[in-house]
A and B are shown apart, each in its own frame.
Chain A
Amino acid sequence: MSFLTKIRRKTPNEFFLIPGLIGLGIFVFAICYSIYMSFYRYKLGFMQPNYVGLTNYSMLLHDPVFTTAVKNTLFFVAIASTSELLYGIFLAVLLYWSNKRYLFIPFLIVPMILPAVNLVVIWRFLFHPDYGFVNQILTSIGLSAINPLNNPKWAMPTIILMDIWQMTPFVMIIVLAGLSTVPPEVLTAARIDGARKFQLTLKILLPMTKNVILAVFLLRLIDAFRIFAKVYLLTRGGPGVATETIELQIYNRALRGLEIGLGSTMSVIFILISLVVIIPYTIMVLKNWRR
């Protein structure tokens, strides 16, 4: 038996985890490093780290811009993912009952694959105050022009609308796949008419798909924290601080300013907030993967 064979046989199964664990380990190290640095004032390339205790935290928690960013992020996550879930389920059910669904699906999922920049171009053009498509239509039917992207009250809803337009197909396609796994025998018994379809949907189809729906909701919640490109490109956080988010704060204030200490503190706060949705999702995966 060759020396190599001996070594191979001796390696424990855990050895196979190492490549992935090393990669992931770097990110875990990064998180730990962030926690450590969150107690320092540290400007990359300009000054040495300087221990300041909880100063960064108390500063951020009293910082009106940062607290607004936190609120905006939570608002976006809650409203966007809930709307996408409900609208996506609705569309999935429509498609499920449609005899022409294979004609609709390829077109309906296009927004999902568009890069954020494309969406932003479309949205900015649609809502451009002077020559935007929406205003062209509004003025042509005698209504007054609008400028939602420049309106503190309407900027965030416009971004949410954009996210709904893009990400609802994701919910739709996964819920539809879930609905399709409901065995047809369960449904064929009933004669199909309008009222029946409605009841079958509410009483049989959706309850039998609830695990998939829960999974897709958790995924949307987690993903909704990642809106950076859309917000940054569409409004840059404005007007004022109306669409400021945590990601934007980290990017603009910390990174552009090379404020590693402050940025680390923001990251730690961001991680703590997102753990609220990550933990249930992790538990779900652990259960599903259990061999």
Chain B
Amino acid sequence: MASLINVFLIVVLLTVLVPLGVLVMISLLPPGEWSIPPKSPTLDNFVYVFKEFRFYRNMLNTFLFIGLAILISLVLALPTAYAIARLQIKYYVWVFTVVLVILVKSLPPGSLLVPVYELLWKLRLTNTVLGVALSYQVYTLPFVIWILTSFLLDLPREVETAARIDGAGRFARLRHIIFPLSIPGIISAVILGFLNLWNEYMYSSVIVSSRNLQTAAVVLGQLVTSEYVYDWGILASANIISVLPAIFFVSFVQKNISKAITGGIKG
């Protein structure tokens, strides 16, 4: 029975690995060829993507936007999550805040695109790093509040009580106790936020129109949607390069990733 289960899982594994293998093999195709597996595999595509295509610039943009967006979210989210999870708050204020967090977290981002775009346009923030990072708050702010709140709710209360006894007020507790103890939660928020936004296409493509601020996802998206046959090898190798940071992140925290995901779900 156990071996039958494993055989079945191997079949499932193949359905995952074959398409991934296909992607890798496409990236090794020389221009004009499209036989799988490649007859004359080459690494030229990767060299091209880096040297001529300057794809790393777009990846740096993505990093910059996401990093700034998550940083803003963390600063706003930590005190809020702390209050939701730990402080005595009037009940209706608490319910109001939680509903707001979950509502904004769950709304399809598309439904906020129009007003957010118009607001940023009026503030002359379209096509700026700050503008993109602010628009990403649609994703990151409620998400980070959610993750941190779930995390703080699970943190034993006694340590904070001990800090009160030791004379630490709310601000001191947040700084000396809650913040350092939240670091694992903050790390999961950063990783999941990165994984989520690395993918982002809608806001990135609308808020940015100038070429040198475009994100990796948008550039790749433009390549892949262009109707005429583009060089598949270059497309695939750019894709592989773009996914490396995500793979890096995940392998970095491989053990904790399912914990990070499920840590949020209890909420």
Tell me, yes or no, whether A and B come into direct contact in the complex with CB atoms closer than 8 A: yes
Binding site for B on A (CB under 8 A): 8-9, 13-14, 16-28, 30-31, 33-34, 37, 44, 91, 94-95, 97-100, 104-111, 113-118, 120-126, 128, 131, 133, 136, 165, 170, 173-174, 176-178, 193-194, 197, 212, 215-216, 219, 222, 225-226, 228-229, 232-233, 236, 246-247, 250-251, 254-255, 260, 263-264, 266-268, 270-271, 274, 277-278, 281-282, 285-286, 288-289, 291
Q: Are B103 and A113 in contact (CB under 8 A)?
A: no
* Known A-B contacts A23-B137, A24-B141, A289-B149; A229 and B202 likewise in contact (beta carbons under 8 Å): yes
**Contacts of B55-94 to chain A: CB distance below 8 A:** 73, 75-77, 79-85, 87-90, 93
Is the Cβ of A16 less than 8 Å from the Cβ of B83? yes
On whether the beta carbons of A20 and B217 are closer than 8 Å, the reply is: no
Task: Select A285's contact among B81, B169, B267, beta carbons within 8 Å.
Answer: B267
Closest to A131 in B: B34
* Given A113-B249, A121-B235, A267-B112, 9 new contacts (CB under 8 A): A20-B76, A94-B12, A97-B1, A108-B16, A110-B247, A170-B261, A177-B258, A260-B114, A266-B114
Whether A247 touches B202, Cβ cut-off 8 Å, given contacts A20-B81, A100-B6, A289-B84, is yes
- Most chain B CB within a 10 A radius of its CB, from A115, A194, A285: A115
Kindly name the residue among B23, B75, B81 whose own CB sees the greatest number of chain A CB atoms within 10 A: B23
Task: Indicate if B108 sits at the interface (CB-CB under 8 A).
Answer: yes
- Nearest-CB residue, chain A, relative to B112: A30
Asked whether A255 lies within 8 Å of B106 as measured between CB atoms, the reply is: no
Which candidate, B38-46, B159-167, B182-190, B220-228, is the interface stretch facing chain A?
B220-228
B141 touches A23 (CB 8 A): yes
Query: In the complex, are the beta carbons of A98 and B19 less than 8 A apart?
Result: no
Q: SS class of chain A's interface: helix, strand, loop or mixed?
A: helix
Residues of A within 8 A of B242 (CB): 115, 117-118
Given the complex of chains A and B, what is the CA–CA distance between A278 and B83 in angstroms? 23
Check A113 against B224 for contact (C-beta < 8 Å): no
Q: List 10 contacting pairs A-B, 8 Å CB cutoff, sorted by A.
A: A13-B89, A21-B100, A33-B118, A99-B6, A108-B12, A123-B19, A264-B115, A267-B112, A278-B106, A281-B106
